[in-house]
Structure 1
């Protein structure tokens, strides 16, 4: 879900070409949820192989990652580790919401209402360990770096961006800014034409760039105050925030109060200061490698085609595109090196 501060945050549309040559740390779970939600049949049923195993996320990861590589982007996927204890309540609420949506999905199917069925099917999307392991396996076979975060993937991606190891963190949520990412890219994995929910209308979705320094300058606050603002309106760790306080009111409060959390801590059932500290100093690791390798052609074909019934022709075509993208990226890096070395 993330923190609902989108109306306050300045951002600008960009083209994929603007990210040429950039390394970007992608919030893997966020991307996988997007693929599972959008890559479905008309009645909301996800893509499956002959054994009934879901493959929507594999299709999304394979083809979308190739698209990014063809645009000259170097993606690395960051996977979640153990969530903080104070997120448990929110995770339980999400589980209950998915179960309710699944019941409504089945009811809509029984009535033959495919539009309603698809809507509820998307809300019922869930990710289990098997889907995560399959995603990791595919990315490794493709030669794409994967990073295992000790806790939140967005925190790890933000850390990598703040160190300069990657250009930006990529996610639909704004939490990356709270974790200190200097740049956030939104819509990276859903760029292109997308159907509007409940309408027979398609819109063009483009990547958005959000720069932390520009956000803080626009709002006239510090990152610490941005975190306090987020806590007041609600985060994944205190959903709903403080009753009656929206983003604009929260902004005024944090601007003019030295300790805006003190007043509201008494009415909260979670430690607001612990949440603030988590955003400021989340668990992260230095143990990661950003190395893009040649794809394992035989491994990809065996995994996608033999095990999960993907079209061999389409997968082979995808592999060729991936190889060309890797070669083009290396050639451009080599040319850039020679240009820099010219006297």
Structure 2
């Protein structure tokens, strides 16, 4: 389902960081990291994060810049990394790959003509989460004693499961599909300036007089990351159809339509591959070791991470590690 469509349905309200103090957030690591990665690439000279052999580790700057937001507000992040990708997502993965290849071609042309504005824009759009980026991010989080969870499949589904089972208070992602995976409360805009947004599943269901299962059916009619949806059906029409007919299959029958793998699509959201985990939130970041890892081991420009590390150190003094449990 397109983000714009689901946002039209979702109940989202601003929430202050003061209200979030002491909470634990399961962060969709790939989603969070990609946003900081593209921002870092867009606004930072590549020499600041490229090793002697040409390996780009802009993610290390992004992590150091992004973590203080949690620590300064007495929040504990738990980073959840994606596992296997379902074969139903193959079309989307292929489409994203083709789009990135087009961006890479456009970027090469922009460099040939010396168009610095286009280069900056396209450089961020061609970023991908390489094995090195994922591995170095995990290693840096480990040095900072930030909990990491490996999802069996979709990281977002695992975040939602952790929120539903009370392992954490919130899921943290920019993706509206957190609603479809059943996250009761989702924090958005954690990578932006200002206070975050709170997306509330129960309030969303109440607003449209739907069950969670029916909301998933609405999304499948409109189209999700795993299916195209029915042409001409937007969120309002989908809600009306499900409200009138009760479920996806009755609505499809009434219109004489068919969606391939409809059962599997529903199951992907309602019964995704997730696992129960225990999270130790009594963390003790080693800032000196983290700085050495980023600057000395990977050669990141110390000026690019100095303020981020200072903010982390200051937050440890202000909040006190004993309050992070």
CA distance in 1, matches of 2:315, 2:239: 44
- Residue 211 of structure 2, aligned match among 215, 222, 238: 222
- Structure 2 unaligned spans of 5+: none
Deviation at 1:122, TM superposition (A): 2.8
Deviation at 1:162, TM superposition (A): 0.6
Aligned-residue Cα RMSD (Å) equals 2.6
Deviation at 1:230, TM superposition (A): 1.0
How many residues align structurally? 320
- Residue 294 of structure 1, aligned match among 284, 287, 291: 284
TM-score, normalised relative to structure 2: 0.89
1:37 aligns with: 38
2:246 aligns with: 258
1:87 aligns with: 89
Change (3 A) 1:274 1:123: same
Deviation at 1:121, TM superposition (A): 2.7
CA distance in 1, matches of 2:151, 2:216: 21
Change (3 A) 1:5 1:315: closer
Q: Is the 8 A contact 1:294 1:323 kept in 2?
A: no
Q: Does 1:146 align with 2:180?
A: no
Deviation at 1:97, TM superposition (A): 0.9
Q: Is the 8 A contact 1:27 1:78 kept in 2?
A: yes
CA distance in 1, matches of 2:302, 2:91: 44
CA distance in 2, matches of 1:30, 1:322: 22
Of the structure 1 ranges 309-318 and 289-298, higher mean CA displacement relative to structure 2 is found in: 309-318
Q: Is the 8 A contact 1:265 1:272 kept in 2?
A: no
Q: Does 1:241 align with 2:229?
A: yes
Deviation at 1:74, TM superposition (A): 0.9
Deviation at 1:108, TM superposition (A): 2.4
Deviation at 1:165, TM superposition (A): 1.5
Deviations 1:114-162 (A, max 9, x none): 3333333332221122211111111111110010000100111111101
Of the structure 1 ranges 10-19 and 274-283, higher mean CA displacement relative to structure 2 is found in: 10-19
Deviation at 1:231, TM superposition (A): 1.0
Change (3 A) 1:217 1:153: same
Deviations 1:226-263 (A, max 9, x none): 1011111111111x421111111111111111233444
Report 1 or 2 for greater relative contact order, CA contacts < 8 Å, sequence distance ≥ 6. 2
- Structure 1 unaligned spans of 5+: 193-204, 338-343
Deviation at 1:14, TM superposition (A): 2.1
After TM superposition, the structure 1 = structure 2 runs for residues 155-166 of structure 1, keeping only pairs within 5 Å, are: 155-166=157-168
Of the structure 1 ranges 7-16 and 22-31, higher mean CA displacement relative to structure 2 is found in: 7-16
1:176 aligns with: 178
Change (3 A) 1:276 1:305: same
After TM superposition, the structure 1 = structure 2 runs for residues 186-205 of structure 1, keeping only pairs within 5 Å, are: 186-189=188-191, 191-192=192-193
Q: Is the 8 A contact 1:101 1:120 kept in 2?
A: yes
Q: Is the 8 A contact 1:2 1:175 kept in 2?
A: no
Does the residue aligned with 1:303 lie in a helix, a strand or coil? Answer: helix
Q: Is the 8 A contact 1:169 1:184 kept in 2?
A: yes
Deviation at 1:55, TM superposition (A): 2.3
Of the structure 1 ranges 159-168 and 280-289, higher mean CA displacement relative to structure 2 is found in: 280-289
CA distance in 2, matches of 1:331, 1:26: 20
Deviation at 1:83, TM superposition (A): 1.2
TM-score, normalised relative to structure 1: 0.84
Deviations 1:137-191 (A, max 9, x none): 11111110010000100111111101112111011111111111110111112x2
Deviation at 1:45, TM superposition (A): 5.6
1:68 aligns with: 70
Does the residue aligned with 2:293 lie in a helix, a strand or coil? Answer: helix
1:112 aligns with: 114
Change (3 A) 1:259 1:315: closer
1:24 aligns with: 25
1:284 aligns with: 274
2:98 aligns with: 96
Deviation at 1:315, TM superposition (A): 4.9
1:57 aligns with: 59
Change (3 A) 1:154 1:13: same
